[in-house]
A and B are shown apart, each in its own frame.
Chain A
Amino acid sequence: MFGFEKHQLIVVGGGPAGLTAGMYAASMKIDTLIIEGTSKPRLALAEVINNYPGFVEPISGVQLLSRMREQALKMGAKIVKSDVISTQLSSHPKMLTTRENKIYSADAVVIATGLQQQSLRIKNEQKLTGRGVSYCAVCDGPLFAGKTVALIGSGEALIEEAERLSGIVGKIYVIQVPPETVENKRITGISEKIELVEKARPIEILGEEYVTGLKISVSGREELLDVSAVFIATEKIPTAKLLENSGVRTDPRGCIIVDKDQKTSVEGVYAAGDCTCRGLQVVTAAGDAAVAAINASVYIRRKLKGVSR
């Protein structure tokens, strides 16, 4: 566990909530790092925003986003592009690991990861997690050395995990799920161990105690793949997965529960924007993020002085 990068505040997410939180904290002279994910913020999908105060003429989501980004940088926030894949938030300092296996530590954290796509919701996916269903090829791949496995996913995450696994396991069936953004030959070009199953949809992961196979549908016909593990690599890490076991409470929909100060159930951890399922608008995301950043900054200052809350 070395090569730590330390900051006073880490903001996870580069949408309006994350950028606003970063801007506010940095303007309060807090050493702030924004880890913006590799997936597009929802704001980037909005063609026009015509209800953000001050913008009488409609502005495109992409434009508004780039202005917010510029402002955050101007105030002194640092920004890196990567996905946080795991967190340890209840101890001090708080630790976050990104997909490149880089570990960041901070005194306080603001979570602003937006609305998240859930797990793939394949039948038995949850039941067999840790029993052959894995979301971490670097971690669990070596346990399936030489075996046949399936890899289901999309985007760059799929490519990365395929590369990692091909050095370890015997054979990999790769299934690309929507959005199918990766060209087939990029996948098959990685290794001869890869068999790309085209036009396939996962239906059910088979196994009682551990994974014994994967049922898929190929152009409407059911097929069985004989695999010992199913690795899942989608672009987005659901917030609920990210916060699993960290003590941060979420409601049954996976929305982070916050109080009026944007505090979560874990000391020093704040959340704002769509990930709290409140407002679901740019202006509310920005407003809540400002509150989160101000409170996080006060918390950090107090911690520095050795005063507990």
Chain B
Amino acid sequence: MVVELPPDVRRYIKDKFSKLVNPVTLHVFTTKNHCLYCNETLEIAKIIAEFSHLIKIEECECTTDSQTAKRFNIDKHPAIVVHGKEEYGIRFFGIPSGYELGSLVEAIVDASRGDTEIPPDVKEIVKSIGKKVHIQVFVTPTCPYCPIAVRTAHKFAILNRNILGDMIEAIEFPDLSQKYMVMAVPKIVINDKVMFEGAVPEMFFAQKILEAIE
């Protein structure tokens, strides 16, 4: 698979990246062993990084028990972790292609700004969360609603460092999809405890987090 971006997508990315403020690092984790889309994921990250001098790539071709992978809590490949103004828990497992490319671009902008657009009442709730939260959003690249859920998870990760927001491409991780019975996307799993499907409003999503940590 060769990754090529159509002109309107290139324009969209350029426009988005005009808002970058602080440097952003994409930590890309690949491995030589049985990794379906490792090469393509790295390629996408590189193409994206070409759009702005503020975006840097740190590649780790390493197994999950390497030190770096452990530091970032990487338990599967390929993965991209987006760090910007701070070291956020914004992660992509599997290839961020199709509709998810937009999620990656927007996560980069938010990470660079260190802020995100979200209704004030939701912001307040998310910021007040004092416990560790792990959000997994299962997607397929052809799903038009999935980025809405992925964006919400990543927005929450920007607002609160206790929150890890993972996009997981369901097809690349069949064991995980099986474990969580992913039969519709987006499927959201919070702390292995609360699960729901659909691109829901941010307030609904925040309430589900509260339910998971109570």
**A contact set with B: CB distance below 8 Å:** 1-4, 86, 88-92, 95, 97, 101, 103, 129-132, 134, 136, 138-143, 145, 209-211, 229, 244-247
Stretch at the interface among B19-27, B67-75, B178-186: B178-186
Q: Which residue of A lies closest to B149 (CB)?
A: A88
Instruction: Point out the residues of chain A lying under 8 angstroms from B106, CB to CB.
Output: 1
Interface residues of B in 157-214 (CB under 8 A from A): 170-171, 177, 181-185, 187, 197-204
Distance of A143 Cα from B99 Cα, bound (Å): 16
Contact assessment for B12 and A3 in the assembled complex, using a CB-CB cutoff below 8 Å: yes
Of the listed residues A95, A143, A244, A246, the one surrounded by the most CB atoms of chain B closer than 10 A to its CB is A143
In whole Å, how far is A198's beta carbon from the nearest beta carbon of chain B? Answer: 28
Given the complex, which residues of A lie within 8 Å of B148, measured CB to CB? 1, 88, 95
Q: Within the assembled complex, what's the spacing in Å between the Cα atoms of A115 and B99?
A: 32
Chain B proximity of A30: nearest CB distance (Å)? 23
B112 on the A face (CB < 8 A):
no
Asked if B182 contacts A143 (CB within 8 A), the reply is yes
Binds A, one of B54-62, B84-92, B136-144: B136-144
- Judge if B114 is at the interface, Cβ distance under 8 Å: no
| B92-119 interface code vs A (CB 8 A; 1 in, 0 out) | 0000000101110110000000000111
How far, in whole Å, are A109 and B181 apart by their CA atoms in the complex? 35
Q: Which residues of A contact B147 (CB under 8 A)?
A: 1
* Minimum Cβ distance to chain B for residue A107 (Å): 14
Q: Is the CB of B144 within 8 A of A86?
A: yes
Least CB distance, B40 to chain A, in whole angstroms: 16
Whether B140 pairs with A90 at a CB distance below 8 angstroms is: no
Q: Which B residues lie at the A interface, using CB under 8 A? A: 8-9, 12-13, 99, 101-103, 105-106, 117-119, 140, 142-148, 151, 170-171, 177, 181-185, 187, 197-204
Chain A residues within an 8 Å CB radius of B183: 130-132, 134, 140, 143, 210-211, 229
B171 adjacent to A143 (CB under 8 Å)? yes
* A42 vs chain B, min Cβ distance (A): 28
Q: Is the CB of B145 within 8 A of A143?
A: no
Complex: chain A residue closest to B152, CB-CB: A91
Q: By the criterion CB–CB under 8 Å, are B171 and A245 in contact?
A: no
Q: B103 near A1 (CB under 8 angstroms)?
A: yes
Q: Which residue of A lies closest to B203 (CB)?
A: A90
Task: List residues of chain A with CB within 8 A of the CB of B103.
Answer: 1
B63 → A minimal CB distance (Å) = 28
Question: Which of B106, B184, B200 counts the most chain A CB atoms within 10 A?
Answer: B184
Query: Which partner residue on chain B sits nearest A247 by CB separation?
Result: B201
Q: Which residue of A lies closest to B9 (CB)?
A: A2
Report Cα–Cα, A86/B177, bound state, in Å: 24
Q: Are B202 and A90 within 8 A (Cβ)?
A: yes
Q: Point out the residues of chain A lying under 8 angstroms from B12, CB to CB.
A: 2-4
Pick the residue among B170, B181, B185 that contacts A209 (CB under 8 A): B181
Contact A1 B102, beta carbon cutoff 8 Å = yes
B199 → chain A, closest Cβ, in Å?
6
User: Per a CB cutoff under 8 Å, which of B140, B146, B151 touches A143?
Assistant: B140
* Inter-subunit contact A142/B201 (CB<8 Å): no
Given contacts A139-B185, A140-B184, A210-B183, contact A245 B142 (CB under 8 A): no
Inter-chain CA distance A2–B183, complex, in Å, is: 26
Closest 4 CB pairs of A and B: A1-B102, A139-B143, A90-B201, A130-B184
